[in-house]
Homo-oligomer: A and B are copies of this chain.
């Protein structure tokens, strides 16, 4: 936070604006900004809804006019609609550190949490398809631990998964998890980053602890995929889910994804075995027989318009290194925090986001009085973040299209709003 300014400079703002320009000039990702539809607002809500990649409208128009309108039913084959969930899964895979063949796209995050958790309990209990819970090895594992700080839907779905598999649900903060793991723990559902504070959790360490207890680790990547390296394969994560409408810019409510580690796939036993996860979907056989591999994570007919909009949106990642994204993300949040410290009078805001890089995601959360009203006024003045009750201002930093000048301006306008 050292900021030695020559005495001749009139205000910290001039200096920070110059620094922002320099940082933007040196930013290797700055060229990506032109690939998005942006305007003169500072858009710091890409952690809620990513901006529109400029080429998406034409691609969707082609899907609608040519593929649906003219080819119609033939597009299931000719336009490769049928294989979209696994093909797009393979596009998401490198962004979260997964080799191909382990991700399918489809359904909502909530639905994928349900698949992952029920399947995790069955995996750890060694239940086969159609089996009950009596007599299998590890049948005594009857606890699901859920991150008490996760986005609430994960907790609601975990409660349902627990109820339907005869488990009890234990909500704990991620820090409390290692000490609580035990021989009855079946699965642990954790969020990679806290949606309110932006705190990044220790995915490698927590996954190792869960494994040491003989349980399975399920990670929610909604707030980190596309913002920083995740390393699913490297860290031995068992199952993971995430949305695609935040840092992956897939569009409002675009399909989520499910990761199933390769070694677990042949025992992955989904609670939602639809015809799309059947080994022979068009065989129309009355008995369910699961497909090989991660196709088991599919359920019903894939939602093609949204899915192919997402596929187009993922083009912006071509040639982008996630290490570069992470470096810029940290530089952006560092710089924003410096600007806030320089501009905002002491005591008006308190950062909830950890200073340590290892504990920081790609957003900054500031607690302040009247945060709901403050955010309204920020938005009126062209700085778009969001508000989380009761008192949190969230600013998401999406390294592909947010600039250091954006960060400086956001902090400056925040100071003006708080002082007015």
A residues near B (Cβ < 8 Å) are 37, 39, 43, 45, 48-49, 51-52, 56-57, 60-61, 64-65, 67-70, 72-76, 81, 107-111, 114, 118, 130, 132, 148, 151-153, 155-157, 159-160, 163-165, 171, 196, 243, 245, 251-256, 270-276, 278, 282-286, 288, 299-307, 309, 379, 384, 386, 388-389
Contact yes or no, A304 B252, CB < 8 A = yes
CB < 8 Å neighbour of A64 from B49, B60, B132? B60
Count copies of this chain in the complex.
2
Contact yes or no, A152 B286, CB < 8 A = yes
Contact yes or no, B72 A384, CB < 8 A = yes
In angstroms, Cα B302 to Cα A254, docked, is: 8
CB < 8 Å neighbour of A52 from B56, B69, B288? B69
Contact yes or no, A108 B274, CB < 8 A = yes
In angstroms, Cα B303 to Cα A309, docked, is: 11
Contact yes or no, A156 B273, CB < 8 A = yes
List chain B residues, Cβ under 8 A from A251: 64, 68, 304-305
Asked whether A272 and B389 contact (CB < 8 A) given A108-B107, A148-B286, A253-B304, the answer is no
In angstroms, Cα B256 to Cα A376, docked, is: 35
Asked whether A305 and B60 contact (CB < 8 A) given A156-B288, A252-B68, the answer is yes
List chain B residues, Cβ under 8 A from A276: 110, 153
Asked whether A300 and B256 contact (CB < 8 A) given A70-B39, A156-B278, A285-B152, the answer is yes
